[in-house]
């Protein structure tokens, strides 16, 4: 799976980010990360690594908004047709693709966040017994 040269080992952070972006278990790179759209599989089917222990929380949503906002929305505002066309044309022509792009980006960003958390070995605190 590694495309890196054999002489220089990849850092765990790059490995975790890459595997997370590909929706793969950050520990082995073979098992799938999600059981549904954004629902993380509790345990990797390939290596048995516990995947639900990484506290991604609001990080993926934050980074997705940051990425889409800076790379798509802000440059879009420089196109004159955004300001000149009818709002009834501009709103669906921009909001629907933006919503789809955001929904496609969010699982990849969440995978990357989980991969980064795996690389720095940051896990959820153990639940205290009630």
Give the binding site for Zn ion (CB under 5 A): 25, 27-28, 31, 44, 46-47, 49
Q: Which two tokens stand for residue 50?
A: 């516990």
Q: Which among 116, 109, 106 has a CA at the least distance from the CA of 14?
A: 116
| Nearest distance, CB of residue 43 and Zn ion, angstroms | 9
Q: Are 119 and 16 in contact (CB under 8 A)?
A: yes
Nearer to Zn ion, 31 or 60 (CB): 31
Sign, CA torsion 7/13/16/21: negative
| Nearest distance, CB of residue 42 and Zn ion, angstroms | 12
- Report the C-alpha gap between 33 and 79 in whole angstroms: 38
Q: Are 27 and 53 in contact (CB under 8 A)?
A: no
| Nearest distance, CB of residue 49 and Zn ion, angstroms | 5
Nearer to Zn ion, 53 or 98 (CB): 53
How far is CA 26 from its chain centroid?
A: 12
Nearer to Zn ion, 54 or 64 (CB): 54
| Nearest distance, CB of residue 2 and Zn ion, angstroms | 15
Nearer to Zn ion, 27 or 105 (CB): 27
């Amino acid at each position: 799976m590694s495309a890196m040269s054999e002489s220089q080992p990849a850092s765990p952070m790059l490995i975790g980010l890459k595997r997370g972006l590909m929706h793969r278990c950050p520990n082995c790179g073979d098992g799938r990360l999600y059981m549904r759209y954004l629902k993380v599989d509790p345990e990797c089917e390939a290596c048995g690594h516990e995947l639900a222990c990484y506290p991604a929380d609001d990080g993926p949503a934050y980074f997705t908004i940051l990425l889409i906002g800076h790379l798509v929305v802000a440059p879009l505002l420089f196109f004159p047709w955004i300001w000149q066309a009818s709002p009834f044309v501009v709103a669906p022509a921009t909001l629907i693709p933006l919503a789809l792009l955001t929904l496609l980006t969010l699982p990849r960003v969440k995978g990357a966040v989980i991969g980064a958390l795996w690389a720095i070995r940051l896990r959820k605190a153990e639940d205290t017994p009630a």
